[in-house]
Chains A and B, each alone.
Chain A
């Protein structure tokens, strides 16, 4: 299969068109706009045979695809930042109703101040919703993850919505070589969407009713277990996909790159820059531990790869205000029961589009060597000169 140079957003639209999607509803917002624009164009040109619902805002976009999925139609939407915040209420409802939606998030900072650039605050703010979250390093991984997302979401042992997260601008606006798996092969991989509890006048059922305390708690427990148990399916789907399409992303949950005794833990496109530095031996004694699925959190897997390191340096492109970065808090928690646990420190980087460049990564690694475990620092860019 041939690769082609195209924009990240166009690649998303092209793969969505190959996933046998029946309903698309989306509202444009920077930096997700080109995805919607391209899908709308392809629909107008007759290249996608589906309903394209023009909505007045993101709340309606996700409501429309929630309804469509409930009726048994494979659906798609995409958003960013304030758009995702506006969807918040329905994001939780979709998981609680066990509807296998797939949504691409073009990661962008949240207001205020208004900022259109990349960080992970928007999707991290939805981490407790019951959605599976996949964070991607490259455009190719976004393309492959969209296909995998439908397969994971629709698995009868999962039935959960999935967010595929791509860094705004870094991946949405980059042109790079990418292979779009052909429609026939993707259809074969995914099979027909056959939602077992779909709305059907012949078999009436109630969706999203009032849950009294005992029922509510039981259903939340089931939901929690479903998210935990989805790890197995995510790995299986990743492995089958790797066999058929030839691309591997760690074990599907976590990827380890290099073998240094200092582990840099990160998510998203910055992992490419870290890999480049490891390749060139520009970060002494450092390995990368890339978290691909933040939800479900790969707790056992991450303990296994981190417990024997000298230090764990977490890069958070988000912050849980009043405490620390979200990834750090979970990594530190995961290591709590280990006997000789490594030092764990947190650097909050790249907020609102500050470039996480080689100078930043050098700064972080050097600083990490000198500080105590538990050090939390927000790097706003003024610490490092841009003249790298």
Chain B
């Protein structure tokens, strides 16, 4: 049985929890089992926030928090100053950072792969606002191959059913990131 664990790190108000929820929906649309939950804390705007997602071929029974993720998404590179990201990733795992440049403060260890993508810039261009939580999943899908772009689009439609314009722009930006990482 293969199960993958994903951690999303963001700031309170940035939508890290929504990000994990959209990912769980997307994986389920692709025919996989999934589970997403927030770190059980009290959310404060600006403070570091974790959320988690599990994706598996079989029913997920495990309900402990994710301690060492296969993939860790960082929505704000400035968080790397305060959070020991590497300690939260498995050996040989992957970190994807929203950043304009390779995050030099993040030293790889344990064979961890580090990627970066300028999601804020793409969000500003396409959505008009720096909303990166959902579109970072485009980078995740591209690098991991664990969810499809179609699955993500369906999940975005579902999550923003009452805001079709928001859904449309998020889908477009997600696809842009997905394709840019493929190249």
Contact = CB atoms under 8 A, between A and B. Distances in A.
Given A175-B25, A177-B28, A177-B33, A355 B38 contact: no
A272 B37 CA distance: 15
Contacts of A358: 64
Interface string B31-54: 001111110101000000000000
Contacts of B64: 273, 355-358, 388
Given A5-B25, A175-B24, A175-B25, A273 B63 contact: yes
A7 B42 CA distance: 18
Contacts of A273: 61-64
Nearest to A139: B35
A174 to B, nearest CB: 4
Nearest to B62: A276
A5 B40 CA distance: 20
A176 B61 contact: no
A388 B67 contact: yes
A117 interface: yes
A170 B63 contact: yes
Interface string A272-285: 11011001000000
A272 B40 contact: no
B28 to A, nearest CB: 5
Which of B20, B21, B37, B65 is packed against the most chain A CB atoms within 10 Å?
A: B37
A37 interface: no
B65 A355 contact: yes
A386 interface: yes
B37 A173 contact: yes
B124 interface: no
A5 B61 contact: no
B60 interface: yes
A116 interface: yes
Interface in A142-178: 169-170, 173-177
B36 A175 contact: yes
B29 to A, nearest CB: 8
Nearest to A361: B64
Nearest to A31: B40
A369 B136 CA distance: 47
B109 to A, nearest CB: 15
A332 B163 CA distance: 56
A386 B67 contact: yes
Contacts of A270: 63
Given A175-B37, A176-B35, A387 B67 contact: yes
B67 A5 contact: no
Interface residues of B, number: 21
A355 B64 CA distance: 7
Nearest to B23: A175
A173 B38 contact: yes
Interface string A1-33: 001110100000000000000000000000000
A357 B40 contact: no
Contacts of B35: 174-176
A117 B42 CA distance: 10
A118 B38 CA distance: 14
B67 A174 contact: no
Nearest to B37: A174
A82 interface: no
Contact of A5 (B34, B42, B65): B34
A381 interface: no
Contacts of A60: none
A353 interface: yes
A19 B40 CA distance: 30
A261 interface: no
A173 B43 CA distance: 13
Contact of A275 (B25, B42, B61): B61
A82 to B, nearest CB: 16
A373 interface: no
A358 B64 CA distance: 8
Interface string B67-79: 1100000000000
A63 interface: no
Interface string A340-360: 000000000000010111100
Contact of A117 (B21, B25, B40): B40
Contact of B62 (A117, A272, A386): A272
A286 to B, nearest CB: 15
A178 to B, nearest CB: 10
Nearest to A268: B63
A129 interface: no
A174 B40 contact: no
A333 B35 CA distance: 38
7 contacts: A5-B24, A116-B42, A170-B37, A174-B37, A175-B34, A175-B35, A279-B61
Interface of B: 20-21, 24-25, 28, 33-38, 40, 42, 60-65, 67-68
Given A174-B37, A357-B64, 17 more contacts: A4-B28, A116-B42, A169-B38, A170-B37, A170-B40, A175-B24, A175-B37, A176-B60, A272-B62, A273-B62, A279-B61, A353-B40, A356-B64, A357-B65, A387-B67, A387-B68, A388-B64
Top 9 closest pairs, chain A to chain B, by CB: A357-B64, A276-B62, A272-B61, A169-B40, A175-B36, A174-B37, A276-B61, A272-B63, A5-B28
